[in-house]
Every structure is written in C-alpha cells, then in structure tokens.
Amino acid sequence: MSIRITGLAKRFGSKQVLNGIDLEVADGENFVILGRSGTGKSVLLKHIVGLLEPDAGEVVVDGEAVQGRPQESLDALRASIGYVFQFAALFDSMTVAENLALGLRRRGLDAATITERTTEALALVNLPGSELKLPAELSGGMRKRVGIARAIALRPKYILYDEPTSGLDPVTSAVIDRLMVRTRELGVTGVIVTHDMKSAFSVGDRLALLHEGRVHAVGPAEEMRVSTDPLVRRFIDGIPDDAEAA
Amino acid sequence: MTSAAYPTADHRPLAVLGRGAQRVARALADVRTWSPLLLGQMQRLGVESVPIAIFIAVFTGIVLALLSSYIFTGAVPLYFVGALVGKTVMMELGPVLTGMALAGRVGANIAAELGSMKVTEQVDALETLAYDPLAYLAVPRVLAATLMFPVVTAFAMAIGVTAGWITSINLLDLSTPEFFKGLRQFYKFKDVWFGLVKAASFGMAVAIMGCHRGLTSQGGAEGVGAATTRAVVLGCEAILALDAFWALVLL
C-alpha cells in the first residue's frame, strides 16, 4: 500500500473533525474520498502532505510516517506529491509559467527543462500558449487546470485533488475528469476529494465515504454504486435525511 | 478510537519558543530561497517609501524651525534654532515619524499581502512545493525593512534639516551662517547613528508584525482586514516601546 492512514484524529477548537480515520490507498489507483461539507475531507488531504499535524494517529507514505520527519525528509516527500487546491491557490503575482516553474526550480532543474516541462504540462491540460497570462485573467476552470498543470509538471508519484470539479460547468468538469483518468494512466496515484458523484464514478477506482469524522464505507466504485447502505444511498442519490427534509 | 497514537506537540511556552527559534534559524539559513527576493523587497518596501518620508520630513522641519523660534525669542539666541532642528530631526522625529508612516505603509502592505496569500491557500501551496514560507515570504521582507528603514530615515533627516534651514532664512530673522552655527555647535556623530540604529530596529519590528499577523490570518477578507489593522497598531506600539528602550540604553 502506498498511502496508509491509521487512527487519524484532528480537532479544531471544540469540533472533532477527524475521529479515527483508517484508509489505505494502493499504488496506481484513483481513490475518491466522498463526504458532506465539513466532514474533514480537505483536512485529511492536508495531513497526507504534512500541512497539518494530527492529534492522534499517523499517515504513512511509501512506508515512512509523514509526521515527525525532519524538514529535509518532509521536503523530499513533498517532491513526490502534487497538490491541486480547491480554488487552485495560484500565486496571483506570478504568470502561469512562473507558477509552474516555481516548484520545478526548487527541484534544481535547469531553465531549458523547466520551459519544456511547463509547455508539456500546459498542453496536457489544454492550455497551450497561456504561459504569460496572470491568474486574474483566467476563468475558474482555466485556473483549476493550471493548478493541475502545476502538479503534473512536477511529475509526482501522487496527486492529491481537493474538489477539482466544484463550481465548474459540466463540460469543464468532464475535461478535468478526463485529465485525472489520464494522469492515472501515466502511473500517478490519485487521491480525489469531491462531492461530485458523476465525477467520482467516472474517475474513481475505489471510493470511501466519510461521515462524522470516520470512514463509513469503502469499496470499489461499482460496489459503492449499488450499495444498499442507507447513508451511502442517501449520499449518492442526494436525498436529505428526515431532519433536513422536515 | 485510535490505533496508533502520534505524540502531540508540546505547548509549554519554552517549547513553543524553542520551536519558533528553530524555524527562524532554519529560514535564515535557507539563503538560496530568500536571497533572490531581497532586492525586490528593498525596492518595494524602501525605495517606494521615500516620497512619504520626504513629505513628512519637509513639514517636520518647517514646524520645528517655527516652533523653536517661538520658544527661543527673547530668551535664547536665535541661532539655537539650528541646534534644535538638527538634534530633534536626527535623534527623534526623523526616525519616529518616518517609522510611524512606514508602519502604516509597509506594515499594512505586508500583512494584507501575506494575509491574502494565507486565506487563499497560497502559503499552503508554497509548502507543498517544498518552500519554507518563512524563508520565502518573511525573511526577505524583514531583512529589506531592517536595511531600508535607515536609508529612508537618512533621507528624511537630510530633508528635515534642509526644510528647517530654508524656513529659518526665509521666515525667521536668521541667516544661513547663524543657522549652521547652531547646527554645528551641538552636532555629534552619535546623533546620526543613534537615529539610524533606531530606524533599523523600527523596520525590523514593523516587518515582523506585518509578517506575523499576515501569516496567521484566518477567515476571509474580514480576517485579512483585521490582521492588517492589528499589524499597523502593533507596529506603532513597537516603535514607541523601542524608542524608549534605545533612549534608555544608548543615551
């Protein structure tokens, strides 16, 4: 297993966001994490890349715990992980090319390789020729695609996607779904946080549903699609519970 | 509940302080990250602050000349106007008023910029690209402010004294030789370096407040606004406290 999460717990103030998460993500799969807003999906992703420290539990990537690593080792781990943020998190004072080049420069690549990787990644997300644009000049969908290009350009082993299709029109969502499938075909392991069910079933090999800070159900996409578990069914079919419906 | 316990961070004050010092030392040692950004920040935080410093210095010099003439007339020889303008501008009003103005301009600028980056996850994005946000964002700004506040203050000192001199020869019954007689009679080189040392410490304090408030911003635009206000207030308070500290230590 390439990513193993054991007993992960995290509290913010009085809110227990994660309450003992156990998950395993295999090499080369697209693993989708589902759950309602506020169930801690993004918090979980941030633990994988060491942006947050857990209160309890651990995240192990490639056999080594993320938390407690010395900074150099954490940087080396981050070099193998691309992170696609929910709102892209592009550096708004930099052009698209500079956004992509920043991480590559950190890895000590020369200028020619950086240009080559930048051009290649932008072509992969169907944004060739946008190198000199500023993030403010891009639409929401284009920004997300640049965010994905920034992650792909690093040629990482893993890509973590935080709500990659939220707020996008169906056509742009389909483009991004195809991108996520394509990156998996290139051998990249994907962890995708979403509540877009169409996207989840089209890109995910396995799905997990978070509920009240724990993994409520996990399984292959086709099994989850026909699951009879009431909570899974309500989430997939978008049916509010009795209290919400009242 | 959990199958593997991870040791939680020690929150005792000394432990927190130790971790903070370790992070700062690591960021300072990461020269290849912050050094390419230093000149740009010196331009933004220092050179672009010169106009406001000049504006303040001109009016400070004028008011000091007029005020000292009003106080001295009939009691003290008028050439003391030069002494008072020189001493006050170099030792106190030059550094403090420039520092206050820059606390607004520079402190607010840093807090708002870093705060926006924090709430839009750009700071997290930097970390995922294996950059230390302290080395990339805070160190170049703090060093630039520490180096450039004295330069801007030196400009302000020169302009303030010049404004006081021009005011004295045009509006007061004072000649150029008389003004410079007073200025020279009481001038010590310590006056200048005292002012510049203070300015450097003001620059460091203002930038640290701006970086700290910006990087700990929470919430959306409201959080960034609150962080910016707090950075300016803390910067001004730090300037006044440091002003008293240096007077106690160096005079």
User: B129 CB near a chain A CB, below 8 Å?
Assistant: yes
Sign of the alpha-carbon torsion through B209, B111, B220, B222? positive
pLDDT for B53: 94
- Exposed, middle or buried: residue A70 (CB in 10 Å: 0-12, 13-18, 19+)? exposed
pLDDT for A71: 85
**Three-class SS state of A240:** coil
- CA A236 to chain CA centroid, nearest Å: 20
pLDDT at B6 over 70: no
Average pLDDT over residues B186-211: 94
Sign of the alpha-carbon torsion through A36, A40, A43, A44? negative
Q: How far apart are CA A145 and CA A127, in angstroms?
A: 8
Contact check, Cβ <8 Å, A102/B4: no
Q: At what angle do helices B189-215 and B221-250 cross, to 10 degrees?
A: 150
Q: Which residue of B has its CA nearest to A42?
A: B121
pLDDT for A246: 57
If pLDDT is split at 50, 70 and 90, which confidence band does B8 have?
low
Q: How far is CA A121 from CA A117, A156, A163, A222, B48, in A?
A: 6, 12, 20, 31, 37
Query: Which tokens sit at A157?
Result: 């082993």
User: A111 CB near a chain B CB, below 8 Å?
Assistant: no
Contact check, Cβ <8 Å, A51/B9: no
Amino acid identity, residue B5? A
Per-window interface: A 26-55 vs B, CB < 8 A: 46, 49, 51, 53-55
If pLDDT is split at 50, 70 and 90, which confidence band does B42 have?
very high
pLDDT for B1: 39
CB-CB contact of A66 with A8 (8 Å): no
The phi and psi torsions of B134 (rounded to 5 degrees) equal -65, -45
Q: Which residue of B has its CA nearest to A108?
A: B32
Contact check, Cβ <8 Å, A7/B4: yes
- Exposed, middle or buried: residue B181 (CB in 10 Å: 0-12, 13-18, 19+)? middle
Which pLDDT tens digits describe chain A residue by residue (246 residues)?
A: 589 999 999 999 889 999 999 999 999 999 999 998 888 999 999 999 999 999 999 999 998 899 888 888 898 899 899 999 999 999 999 999 999 999 999 988 999 999 999 999 999 888 998 999 999 999 988 999 999 999 999 999 999 999 998 878 888 888 889 989 989 998 999 999 998 888 999 999 999 999 989 999 999 999 999 999 999 998 888 887 766 655
| Best B113, B117, B119, B129 residue to mutate vs chain A (most A CBs within 10 Å) | B129
CB-CB contact of A99 with A146 (8 Å): yes
Q: What are the helix (H) ranges across A93-204? A: 96-106, 111-124, 140-153, 170-185, 197-203
CB-CB contact of B217 with B224 (8 Å): yes
Q: How far apart are CA A211 and CA A197, in angstroms?
A: 16
Q: What is the 3-state secondary structure (H, E, C) of B203-244?
A: HHHHHHHHHHHHHCCCCCHHHHHHHHHHHHHHHHHHHHHHHH
Q: How far apart are CA A112 and CA A173, in angstroms?
A: 32
pLDDT for A65: 92
CB-CB contact of A45 with A239 (8 Å): no
Residue B35: its chain A contacts at CB < 8 A? none
Q: Which residue of B has its CA nearest to A214?
A: B1
User: B26 CB near a chain A CB, below 8 Å?
Assistant: yes
pLDDT for A1: 53
**Three-class SS state of A238:** coil
Q: B73-109, pLDDT tens digit by residue?
A: 888 888 899 999 999 999 999 999 999 999 999 999 9
CB-CB contact of B141 with B211 (8 Å): yes
In Å, how far is A237's CA from the nearest CA of chain B? 30
pLDDT for A167: 78
User: A95 CB near a chain B CB, below 8 Å?
Assistant: no
- The ipTM, to two decimals, is 0.89
What residues does A214 pair with on adjacent strands? A211
Return the number of CB contacts < 8 Å for A and B: 85
pLDDT for A242: 66
What residues does A34 pair with on adjacent strands? A209
CB-CB contact of B111 with B213 (8 Å): yes
Residue B222 neighbours by CB under 8 Å, 6+ apart: none
pLDDT for A60: 95
| A241 torsion bin: left (phi>0), alpha (psi -120 to 50), beta (else) | beta
In Å, how far is A107's CA from the nearest CA of chain B? 9
pLDDT at B221 over 60: yes
Q: How far apart are CA A84 and CA A74, in angstroms?
A: 18
Residue A218 neighbours by CB under 8 Å, 6+ apart: A23, A206, A207, A208, A209
CB-CB contact of A15 with A39 (8 Å): no
Strands (DSSP E) found in chain A:
3-12, 15-25, 30-35, 56-61, 64-65, 81-84, 158-162, 189-193, 206-211, 214-220
CB-CB contact of B49 with B107 (8 Å): no
Average pLDDT over residues B119-139: 94
Closest by CA position to B247, among listed B184, B198, B176 = B198
